[in-house]
Structure 1
Amino acid sequence: MDLNGLKISVIGAGIGGLTAALVLRERGANVTVLEQANAITEVGAGLQVSPNGMAVLRTLGLEAALQTRAVRGQAVELRDYARGRLVSRLNLGALGDEAPYYFIHRSDLIDILAEAVRAAGVKVRLLQKVETVRPGETPRVVLAHGQEIAADLVIGADGLHSKLRAVLNGTVAPFFTRQVAWRATVPNTVGHGPVAKVHMGPRRHVVSYPLRGGEMVNIVAVQERSGWHEEGWHIADDPENLRGCFSDFEGETKALLANVESVRKWGLFRHPVAPIWHNGHTALLGDAAHPTLPFMAQGAVMAMEDAWVLGDALAKADNIETGLAAYQTRRQARVRRVVDTASKNAGRYHLSAPPVRIAAHLGLTIASTLAPKTMMGHFDWIYRYDVTKDS
C-alpha cells in the first residue's frame, strides 16, 4: 500500500509514538503527533537499549546520535545483596560489535527521536489531551475541550492508561503483583563501571547502571510487599523510605542509596496483553497493547520493534485493515513471550530461604564460569532478533 499522503495521527510522544511517527513519515505518510504535556520530555529515569532495539534505531539513521549520549554496556552482573559478592556475569561484549547494548537516559533518547521527527516534517501538537477515539473508515480523535481530529489512521501509543485500548478492549482491572518499585538517579560517586548490576536480596533487588558518560547512575529498586500501592510513574516518595527498605544492602548499593535526594515510587501491576490491537483504522502500539514489568528491560525496545513492524506491514498490505491485521499477527507471539519472561524474573531475584538462595546462586556461579556462552545464548531470542530483517 502506498503510504504517501496518508493522514496519520499518533497519540503520545513517548518512545513508541515518536518512533512510529518517524517510521511512517519516512514511508511518505503525513503524520501528526498529539501529546497532552506542554513539552516533549521525560525526566528522572534511565533505560537499556539492547541490540534488537538498536537494529531499529540504526535503520532509522539514529545510531550515531545515540552513541554520543549513551554508555555502551559491557556486562550484566548478578550480585548478592549482603557483601556485593559476584554471583554471575553475562558478557554483553560477546554479542559482538554488530550487536551493541547501551544504557541511556530516557530523556536523551526522547530528545534524539523528537529532533528526528521534526526534521522529517512530522507535526507535533502539544497540550492535546485526548478524551476518546472513535474508530471507523475515517477515525476521529476527540480532545478534552471538544475538538475532533479526523485521520485515515490513528495510532494509540499512549501507554498504560491508553484511551484507545479502552475503546477497543474495554476496561480490565490489572493484577497487583505485590511488588513496588522506586527509581532515582544519583551522581556516580562509587566509580560504577559500564555494567548493569542486579543486587539480589530476600524479596528485594536493586538494579543500577551508569548514564551520561558515567557521570550518573540509574537506580531501580523493587520490594515485595502485601500492601497495595498506586500505579504511576511520577509519585514522589521520601528517600528515607527507600533507604529503610534496603537498609541491609551493603557496599556499593548502600553508598548509592545514601545519595538519593529525589525518588519516585509505583506499584507494579500485570496487565494482560490486549486481545484486540486494531479496529476501524485504529491500532495500539507499545505499552498500550502489551504493558510489561521492568524485569527484562524490554518495554521501550518492544515499542520500537512495534513501530517498525507497523510501518512495514502497512507498506506491504493492500489496505489499512489488512496491514493492521498483519502487524498484530507478526508481533503478538513475541511480545507475549517477553511479557511472560519478565513476569517470572522477579522471583529469580527475590529468593528468601537461605538454603534455596545459596544453592541457586551457586548454580548460577558454576554455569557462568563453566559455560558462559551457553548462558548468554539463552538471550539470543531477544537480543539477536532483528525486526528490520523479519518479513
Structure 2
Amino acid sequence: MTAQTEILQRGGSNRGRRVCVVGGGIGGLTTALAFARSGARVEVFEQAEALGRVGAGIQITPNGARALEALGLRDALDAASLTAQAVQPMDARAGRAVTRFDLSQLGGPPYRFFHRADLIDVLAEGCRAASVQLHLGTKVDAATCEGDIVVGAEGIHSPTRAALNGPRDPFFTGQVAWRAIVDAPEAEAVAQIWMAPKRHVVTYPLPGGRLNVVAVQERDTWAAEGWAHRDDPANLRQAFGDVCAPLQDILGRVTDTHLWGLFRHEVANVWARDNTALIGDAAHPTLPFLAQGANLAIEDGFILTRCCDGAASVDAAFAAYQAARNPRVRRAIAAANANARNYHLSGPARIVAHMGLKTLGYIAPKAFLQQMDWLYGYDATSDDAV
C-alpha cells in the first residue's frame, strides 16, 4: 500500500483530530489539505483579508508536485500553470545562451510555472472541497490555538518559530532582489538565468502572456527584509545598465516593482514541541536561488501529516518529522547558497564556469538532471521519505 493511499484512506491516527494551521500560504494550505485528506478536522487562520492576491511567479518542481498530485490536484495544477520545457543559463552581457537543460527529460510530474495567486486558488479550492475551515482576516497566536496539533506556517517572520526557539536576528547576505511581472508575447516555457558579475536575472513565462522577473544585485547597503517594498523601476534598470539589449528590453517594460533585502536565517533547532510544529520558512528559510522555498514547504506539510498519521503519539510523530526533513532541507539550503555565488562570478572564474556549463550541456546533456535527482526525484509519498 502506498503512502498516498494511506493518507487518502482516512484510517490512521489523524482521524478525528483537530488541527489548526496558522498561515494560509502555499505551505499552510498544503498542510491543511493533507491533514483533511487523512481524516482530521482542520482550520486555517490567515491574517490577510483575502488569499493569494499578492506575489508573483513561482516554480513547482517535480518533488513538490508529487505531493500536490497525491492530494488529488493534478488536473487543477495543469489548468493553472505552464509546463516548463527547459532551463537556459545565459550570458547577460553577450546575450548568448551558455547551455540548455531539457526539463522534459525529468521523471515524474512536470516542472510547472505558476503565478502564486493561481496556485493559492488551487490549494484553497482543494481545502474547501475537503471541508477545511478557512478563517481570513484572523490573526491568532499558535500558543492559544485550540487543537490537538497546531502548525506554524507563518513564513519567515513566524511568531511560532520564535516561541519554540527564542528570538534570533537574521543577517544580511549582501544581496537585494527586485520582483516584477511584465507583459510578454506567448513564448516557449523556458526559465532563463541571465548571469553577470555580481548580478543575475531570472525570467520565465506565466499563463496569460506574462513574464516573471526576479533580479538580484550584490551591494553593501541593504533594503528592509520582505518583498513588499515598492521601488522605482529606474533603479533596477540602472543596476543592469550594461547588460545585453534583449534583457534591457525586458527590464525596460517593468512599470511596477518591489525590492527586498535577502537575509539568512538559521535552520530552527526546535521544529516541534508539545502539540505545535513548524513547516516551511518558519522552520528553515531558504534563499531564492534554487526555486525550492515553496516546494520544501509542500514536502514538509505532506511528511508532517504522514508522520502524525502513522505514529503512536504526537511526540513520536514530531521527532520522526524533524529527523526526516532536517538533512534534506539543509542540503537544499546549501545548494541555494552555492547558486548565489555561481550566478555572480566575474573574471577568469566566470569564463571557466561558463565553459564548464557549455561543455556539460554539449557532451552530457542529461548529466545536469542526474546531478539534481536528489532534489527533483524526491518523493514525499514513498516509504523512504519517512
Q: Tell me, in whole angstroms, the C-alpha distance in 2 between the residues paired with 1:18 and 1:281.
A: 19
Q: Which residue of 2 aligns with 1:208?
A: 203
Q: Which residue of 1 aligns with 2:371?
A: 378
Q: Which runs of 4+ in 1 moved over 3 A?
A: none
C-alpha deviation, 1:200, in angstroms: 0.3
Deviations 1:23-63 (A, max 9, x none): 00111111100000111124241011111111011111111
C-alpha deviation, 1:247, in angstroms: 1.1
Give the one of 154, 171, 174 matched to 2:150: 154
Give the one of 355, 366, 371 matched to 1:362: 355
Aligned identity (percent) is: 49
Q: Which residue of 1 aligns with 2:320?
A: 326
Q: Which residue of 2 aligns with 1:144?
A: none
- After TM superposition, the score normalised by the length of structure 2 is 0.94
Matched residue SS, 2:175: strand
Pair 1:58 & 2:53 matched: no
Q: Tell me, in whole angstroms, the C-alpha distance in 1 between the residues paired with 2:97 and 2:55.
A: 28
Q: Tell me, in whole angstroms, the C-alpha distance in 1 between the residues paired with 2:55 and 2:333.
A: 24
Q: Which residue of 2 aligns with 1:19?
A: 30
Which residues of 2 match residues 58-207 of structure 1 at below 5 A? 58-96=69-107, 98-130=108-140, 132-134=141-143, 140-141=144-145, 150-189=146-185, 192-207=187-202
C-alpha deviation, 1:133, in angstroms: 3.5
Give the one of 344, 352, 358 matched to 1:350: 344
Q: Which residue of 1 aligns with 2:274?
A: 280
Q: Matched residue pairs, number?
A: 373
Q: Tell me, in whole angstroms, the C-alpha distance in 2 between the residues paired with 1:99 and 1:68.
A: 14
Which residues of 2 match residues 229-248 of structure 1 at below 5 A? 229-248=223-242
Q: Tell me, in whole angstroms, the C-alpha distance in 1 between the residues paired with 2:67 and 2:118.
A: 17
Q: Tell me, in whole angstroms, the C-alpha distance in 1 between the residues paired with 2:149 and 2:254.
A: 44
Matched residue SS, 2:99: strand
Deviations 1:259-298 (A, max 9, x none): 1111011000111010100001000000100000000000
Q: Which residue of 1 aligns with 2:251?
A: 257
Q: Tell me, in whole angstroms, the C-alpha distance in 2 between the residues paired with 1:192 and 1:351.
A: 29
Q: Which stretch of the first structure deviates more once superposed, 14-23 or 82-91?
A: 82-91
- After TM superposition, the score normalised by the length of structure 1 is 0.93
C-alpha deviation, 1:312, in angstroms: 0.5
Q: Read off the aligned partner of 1:199 and give its amino acid letter.
A: W
Deviations 1:125-179 (A, max 9, x none): 111123x433xxxxx23xxxxxxxx221110000000010000001111121000
Long gaps (5+) in structure 2:
1-11
Q: Read off the aligned partner of 2:124 and give its amino acid letter.
A: A
C-alpha deviation, 1:319, in angstroms: 1.2
Q: Tell me, in whole angstroms, the C-alpha distance in 1 between the residues paired with 2:153 and 2:113.
A: 23
Matched residue SS, 2:168: coil
Q: Tell me, in whole angstroms, the C-alpha distance in 1 between the residues paired with 2:49 and 2:109.
A: 36
CA RMSD in angstroms comes to 1.2
Q: Which residue of 1 aligns with 2:302?
A: 308
Deviations 1:45-95 (A, max 9, x none): 101111111101111111111111111111100010112111121110111
Q: Which residue of 2 aligns with 1:220?
A: 214
Long gaps (5+) in structure 1:
135-139, 142-149
